[in-house]
């Protein structure tokens, strides 16, 4: 079992560029989510999904898009990167949508110049 796999681990972008952070899980988890972590702060929820085709916004959704075409994959898209999006991004999943242990990926460190 690979668990939750995130790619890339590191990325540097210029302001205005677009990119996609990939997240895949092989545990048949229904619930998937994206968090960002900024220095000295906890994690803040960006978007989440409770199944294929179903997504919704979290605390800080502006500037990010998501989709979930399969149970396994939940990519996070930055359409026009801004320096304020410099952060570490974590993907997390759980078996059930309403409860259960949240399992995290290793994180993706993004720098926007």
Q: Please report, as ranges, the residues that interact with another protein according to CB under 8 A.
A: 31, 33, 35, 40-45, 48, 50, 58-59, 88, 90, 92, 94, 96-104, 106-107
Q: Would you say 16 or 100 has its CB closer to another protein?
A: 100
Residue pair 98/48 in contact by the 8 Å Cβ criterion: no
Q: Would you say 15 or 96 has its CB closer to another protein?
A: 96
Minimum CB separation of residue 109 from another protein in Å reads 8
Please name the residues in contact with 81: beta carbons below 8 A apart, sequence gap of 6 or more.
Answer: 13, 14, 15, 16, 17, 18, 19, 110, 112
């Amino acid at each position: 079992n690979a668990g939750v796999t995130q790619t890339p681990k590191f990325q540097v972008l210029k302001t205005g560029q677009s990119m996609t952070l990939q997240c895949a899980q092989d545990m048949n988890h229904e619930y998937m989510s994206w968090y960002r972590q900024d220095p000295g702060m906890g994690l803040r929820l960006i978007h989440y999904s409770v199944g294929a085709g179903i997504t919704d916004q979290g605390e800080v959704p502006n500037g990010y898009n998501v989709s979930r075409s399969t149970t396994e994959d939940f990519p996070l898209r930055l359409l026009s990167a801004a320096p304020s999006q410099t952060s570490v991004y974590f993907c997390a999943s759980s078996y059930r949508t309403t409860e259960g242990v949240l399992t995290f990926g290793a994180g993706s460190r993004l720098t926007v110049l």
